[in-house]
Structures are given as C-alpha cells and as structure tokens.
Structure 1
Amino acid sequence: MTVPEFLQMTRPHEITPGLRRQLVDCWKAVINAGGAVIAPGIPLPPVSVRDVAPAAERLIAGLDPERGRLLVATVDGSLAGWLIIRRDLHPLIAHCGVVNHVQTHPHFRRRGIGTALMTRVREVAAEDMNLERLQLSAREGLGLEHFYGSLGWTEVGRWPGALRVAPGDDRDDILMCLSL
C-alpha cells in the first residue's frame, strides 16, 4: 500500500497551474480508462484535455471553505487521486455533505489511494466541515458499491437505468450514505 500525502483546498486561488493540469490529466485518464466520473459538458469517452478542462475550471471556481473543498492525494509530488466534498448551507441539509468526482489516477490504482482518500474525506467532513453524514452515487457495473461498502458506506437506494453509458447499456445510479 502506498501512503499518500493530502492537500485540502478551499479557495480557487489555492490551485496552482501545475495542479490544474494534473487534475485535468487525471480526470481525462480516468474517463478514458472506463471510470464513471461524469460532469456536465464532458462527452462520453474518449475525451481530451479540451473536453475536461472547462468542467475542472467550474469545480475549482466553486471552492469555498463552507460549501466545497478539493481533497488531493499525492505520491512523490504527483497527483494520485482527488475528490470534491460539498455541502448545501440550507438549514434542513447543512449537516450533510456530498462526495463527488472520486478519482484515482490509473497509474496509481491498486495501491490503496482510493481507500486513503475515502478515509481522509471522513476526517475532513467531520473535523473541518462539522458534517454528520455523507452521500455519494456510484455507477452500477464497476463494483464500486462493494468498494464503498467495505469502507462503511451503505447503499440506500438506486435510480434504475438512470445512467446511459452507451445505446442499450443503461446502468443504475447507486445511492450510498455514510454516518460520521
């Protein structure tokens, strides 16, 4: 198991040009390797840097200490994985957060980076953001529900056939929850 170092960014100006490039490169590599990380404006694979960069810029622009944070895992200075944690400040749901865009760069897979990211996001959510619960959604067919389940997440529902990977290939969107 590789032990990553973590960076947590809460404002857009904290993201260096080099980190921006690494985020986009990782996202592109994950999508092209069959990863389930989707966002508005990004086409189905194969994708290029040009396809992914605008979505990454939108994520970065949304960083805010109270509403959205970027958690990055690095190994020897290289980006190994990342995710976004968000919260809505409405009083009814401000105690809950949403984890999005969980990614491990294909070069770092099977080295414990995903597990380390998901362990660290629990700490960030509880200690830094005072959240009590997290949620995420995962695409059926990749075994992600088993991965998250092994880390304490519980499947709470599914949107049957909500994700169209290709014509005739509809997958469930699996909804998962974690109490902190």
Structure 2
Amino acid sequence: MTASEVAAPTFAQFTRPSELSGARRRDLAACWAAVVNAGGAVIPADCPLPPLTPADVEAAVDRIAESLAPECRLLAATLDGELAGWLLVRRETHPLEAHCGVVNHVQTQVHFRGLGIGTALMHRVHRIARDEMGLERLKLSARAGLGLEHFYRRAGWAEIGRWPGALRLAPGDDRDEILMSLAL
C-alpha cells in the first residue's frame, strides 16, 4: 500500500485526562513500544532497555494523559479506526516563552510508516498550535542518526543547533540532539 492508495487519516485531540479511554491509552502504549523496538522513539526514563512491551510504557502514557489540558494536547491520527500515529504539543509555561510551544513524542505506528501519517500530523499540529492555541513558534528536538532532521525540514522546520553527543543510546553510541524550530 502506498500513500496515494490510503485514505486521509482522521484526527482527534485530547485535552483532558478523562478523554483518553483505557483502550486509547493501551493503543498509545502499544504504538510507543513498537516504535521504540524499531529504533525510533525515546525510551521513557522508568522503562527497561528494549525490547519493550506495551505494559512497559503504560505508566509513561498515564503521566502524559494526566498532564493534558487545553495548553497541553495529545493529537492522534487514525486510519480505519486504528491508531496510526500521535504526538504531544504544549505551550511553554514560562512567561518569556508563552508564545512558543513544544512538540514531543512524534510517533507513527511502524506498519503505517511511509503512508504520510507523520507529515499529516505535522501539518495538523501546525494549524492547531497557531489557530487554536495562539502560538507563534514551535520547537522540538530530534535524535541524530535516523534522518529525522530531513523529515522535519520537509515539513517546514529549521535546524537551529545541535548538542553534540548529548544522547547516549548505548556505550559507544552517542548521538547529537538536533534542535529545530518552526515559525507559525
């Protein structure tokens, strides 16, 4: 299946903990574990090293769910009712940065990769941040070595710097943290 053969994803925003049902939380945990196991997501601090199971990330999903508010939103994309990808966008809390937001946990379910889900999420979060949250700029960080900076550049983001060797995935596997920005 190619991106041109796939229907556009359906999006849902979650802004309150009560909006994320147990089933949806399990879907998020299953996606996160699969993405980690494929080498593409940050491992929650309280999790073991991969391979992970959905149960390993359930507490991290619950923490995210409990942080939801109008200023911290979870955006989920589904295809045919199945979770295809998700991300988190939140407003910075410091008064000097309140016009900015941060995007975290950008994930596409492994079996939906290459179908434009990540690109669709990036376009949708842009509109939500600007039109609904009143933000003027978004920032995110990505791990080097996976080509993520190319994906984000195609979505309009600019690389603004790197922290060399900031991320240690394993002994001898240090990666740059790539800092990116998007004016809305």
TM-score, with normalisation over the residues of structure 2? Answer: 0.94
Instruction: Pick the aligned partner of 1:57 from 35, 55, 62.
Output: 62
1:141 aligns to 2:140 (yes or no): no
- Contact 1:37–1:103, Cα closer than 8 Å, also in 2: no
Q: Which residue of 2 aligns with 1:103?
A: 107
Report the AA paired with residue 127 of structure 2.
Answer: E
In terms of mean alpha carbon deviation, does 85-94 or 36-45 score higher?
A: 36-45
- Whichever residue aligns with residue 166 of structure 2, its letter is A
Say whether the 8 Å CA contact 2:137–2:182 is kept in structure 1.
yes
What is aligned with 1:94? 98
1:156 maps to 160
Q: 2:26 corresponds to which residue?
A: 21
Paired with 2:128 and 2:10, the residues of 1 have a C-alpha distance of 14
Are 2:77 and 1:70 equivalent residues in the alignment? Answer: no
5+ unaligned residues in a row in structure 1: which ranges? none
After TM superposition, give the deviation of residue 124 of structure 1 in Å.
0.6
SS in 2 for 1:44: coil
Give the CA RMSD over aligned residues.
1.0
Cα displacement string for residues 92-117 of structure 1 (whole angstroms, at most 9, x for unaligned residues): 10100000000000010000000000
Q: Is the 8 A contact 1:36 1:138 kept in 2?
A: no
1:175 Cα deviation after fit = 0.3
- TM-score with structure 1 length normalisation? 0.96
| Structure 2 counterpart of 1:169, from 167, 173, 176 | 173
The ranges of structure 1 where at least 4 consecutive aligned residues each deviate by more than 4 angstroms after the TM superposition are none
In 2: Cα distance, 1:42 partner to 1:177 partner:
29
For residues 117 and 42 of structure 2, the distance between their equivalents in structure 1, rounded to whole angstroms, comes to: 16
Gaps of 5+ in 2: none
Q: Verify the 8 A CA contact 1:38 1:101 in the aligned structure 2.
A: no
Distance 1:148 1:57 in 2: 27
3-state DSSP of counterpart to 2:95: coil
Give the whole-Å Cα distance in 2 for the aligned partners of 1:140 and 1:161: 9
Q: Is the 8 A contact 2:29 2:55 kept in 1?
A: no
**Cα distance in structure 2, aligned partners of 1:37 and 1:4:** 24
Aligned positions, number: 179
Q: 1:86 is paired with a residue of what secondary structure?
A: strand
Tell me whether 1:6 sits opposite 2:11 in the alignment. Answer: yes
Q: 2:39, 2:49 → 1: CA distance?
A: 10
Give the Cα separation in 1 of the matches to 2:55 and 2:25. Answer: 13
Whole-angstrom CA distance in 2 between matches of 1:37 and 1:117: 18
